[in-house]
Amino acid sequence: MASLAPSLHQMLRPRFALSLTSPSSSFSLLGSRHRLVLHHLFASSSQTSASLSSTSTTRDAEEEKQGLEVIDVNPPRGTRDFPPEEMRLRNWLFQNFREVSGVLAFEEVDFPVLESESLFIRKAGEEITQQLYNFEDKGGRRVVLRPEITPSLARLVIKQGKSVSLPLKWFTIGQCWRYERMTRGRRREHYQWNMDIFGVSKVRAEAELIHAIVLLFERLGITSLDVGIRVSSRKVLQSVLEMHNIPEHLFTQVCVVVDKLGKITREEIEKELISVGVSSEAINGIIEVLSIKSLSKLEEVLGSEREAVADLKKLFSLAEHYGYSQWISFDASVVRGLAYYTGIVFEAFDREGKLRAICGGGRYDRLLSTFGSDDISACGFGFGDAVIIELLKEKGLLPDLVRQVDDIVFPLDSELEGPASMVVSSLRKKGRSVDLIEDKRLKWVFKHVERINAERLILVGNSEWQRGMVRVKILSTREEYDVSVDELV
């Protein structure tokens, strides 16, 4: 049934419905609404018929009369199908994520997409908590489709308890769900590559994570002229709050509000900060510090004793040694919107400024205690699959990924399906990727082999088979010869 849909798609015309009815099934693809109508159970006609109706009202009435069940062929808004070519691209990207993680000696972990809602209930007013896909399951439990993976990681670290040997370096690739306003590269479902380190309090952890991000970009052909990584520390803001005697418990809320700078007006930010309990004098101080773009200026304003300054200086010095300093820059306005970050925060952006953040992360040393456990220092990042694909498209860096089939086997006579099956079986046992084609004309098979770029075409013909041979055509060289099945492999 699904294979019929694409060809029918080409027949779509606005305001017309085409429906084919057979005893077992029927399809109706409607121009402007792209609907597929299925009715297995209710079809009454024994003949295939095609009918066109020019108004949806008549059509709806007809469908209702016939008991048709109408489904939308599009996936839910903001979500994606992955047809083969998209899937090849996704696998290629994930393979790069995995290889970079391996190069940094991280281990892969995984979690359920469905999590307990309580893991994501935070009171700082973050956007993410307002975008939850949350509901009650049939057992009355409050659950969510996770919007991010960090709380699940924390949950597993807590669950493993004392048995876990630190430092722990984990990576994961998983689907996340956020009921977002959709923009380019932002969807309601996306995959995120996460790398996280637990048990390293030194800035080395951040330096390692940024190294991973840079290695990934380099693999994909992206240079530091295309992309930069802005770095700051939440301790900068913490210092400013201390300087203005603002109580510590307001810190998280202030971070969440300040992250909206540039997204909403300054007046709105000020209003929100005042409602959180920040004085207007402090607001001016905060906004002034957030405009700083150089470490020396920051040092001048905060003094060299501040942890924020020491951490950032250390990170920039390590970046020199790793050899990626051209990728990173200090920008005090980077605060990030998630409540749990406590120290260095960073995000990668395209230098042309066309897209949203490519990835982002930071230190979150106090997340575990919010779940009632002892804290362990932690640091990590999330890297989505959607923005990076948009960037690769922009830069003309999308790879040309072809289907990987080694051999096509084609029996020239339907009576040779047994020998053809033997050939296929022995090739597959040797690990070759083999497709058996039947009931097609030879001309179609030649074209197909070219189209999918198979290495060899193996023809099983009567006279060759009687001699224990098959005919081989090598696509790249156009060579053609007979060989025994053993030699084939």
- Rg over CA atoms, the chain: 29
Q: Are 464 and 471 in contact (CB under 8 A)?
A: yes
Q: Kindly give, in sequence order, each residue whose CB lies less than 8 Å from that of residue 66, ignoring residues fewer than 6 positions away.
A: 39, 42, 43, 44
Binder to ligand HAM among 60, 117, 148, 417 (CB under 6 A)? 148
Is the dihedral angle over the CA atoms 383, 386, 387, 389 positive or is it negative?
positive
Quick check: 29 binds ligand HAM (CB under 6 A)? Answer: no
Binder to ligand HAM among 241, 387, 454, 472 (CB under 6 A)? 387
User: Given the structure tokens 């005090």, which residue do they identify?
Assistant: 332
**Cis amide linkage into residue 147, ω under 30° from 0:** no
User: Given the structure tokens 């209003």, which residue do they identify?
Assistant: 271
**H helix count then E strand count, the chain:** 18, 21
x/- map, 163-182, ligand HAM, by CB under 6 A? ---------------x-x--
Rounded Cα gap, residues 207 and 195, in angstroms = 12
Nearer to ligand HAM, 361 or 419 (CB): 361
x/- map, 347-386, ligand HAM, by CB under 6 A? ----------xxxxx------------------xxxxx-x
Binder to ligand HAM among 172, 194, 233, 238 (CB under 6 A)? 194
Nearer to ligand HAM, 212 or 386 (CB): 386
CB of 379 to ligand HAM, least distance (A): 7
Q: Which of 95-103, 191-199, 315-323, 479-487 is the region at the interface with ligand HAM (rule: CB under 6 A)?
A: 191-199
CB of 361 to ligand HAM, least distance (A): 4
Binder to ligand HAM among 19, 150, 172, 233 (CB under 6 A)? 150
Q: Which of 30-38, 190-198, 232-240, 428-436 is the region at the interface with ligand HAM (rule: CB under 6 A)?
A: 190-198
Q: Residues touching ligand HAM: how many (CB under 6 A)?
A: 24
CB of 150 to ligand HAM, least distance (A): 4
Quick check: 39 binds ligand HAM (CB under 6 A)? Answer: no
Quick check: 192 binds ligand HAM (CB under 6 A)? Answer: yes
Closest to 235 in 3D by CA, of 220, 248, 218: 248
Strand partners, 174: 192
x/- map, 250-279, ligand HAM, by CB under 6 A? ------------------------------
CB of 72 to ligand HAM, least distance (A): 22
CB of 357 to ligand HAM, least distance (A): 4
Q: Which two tokens stand for residue 316?
A: 């920039």
Q: How many CA atoms lie within 13 A of 247 on its CB side?
A: 4
Q: Which two tokens stand for residue 51?
A: 């009918």
**Which H/E stretch holds residue 51?**
strand 49-53
Nearer to ligand HAM, 151 or 285 (CB): 151
Nearer to ligand HAM, 21 or 194 (CB): 194
C-alpha to C-alpha distances, 249 to 104, 242, 246, 255, 377, nearest whole angstrom: 36, 11, 9, 11, 20
Nearer to ligand HAM, 27 or 381 (CB): 381
Rounded Cα gap, residues 241 and 8, in angstroms = 63
Q: Which amino acid is at 353?
A: G
How many Cβ atoms sit within 10 Å of the Cβ of residue 423?
22
- Helices marked H in 323-434 — which ranges? 367-370, 386-394, 417-429
x/- map, 305-344, ligand HAM, by CB under 6 A? ---------------------------------x------
Binder to ligand HAM among 186, 306, 456, 471 (CB under 6 A)? 186
Rounded Cα gap, residues 68 and 40, in angstroms = 9
Q: Which of 113-121, 183-191, 304-312, 320-328 is the region at the interface with ligand HAM (rule: CB under 6 A)?
A: 183-191
Using CB under 6 A as the criterion, which residues of the chain lie in contact with ligand HAM when the complex forms?
Answer: 148, 150, 178, 180, 185-187, 190, 192, 194, 196, 338, 357-361, 380-384, 386-387
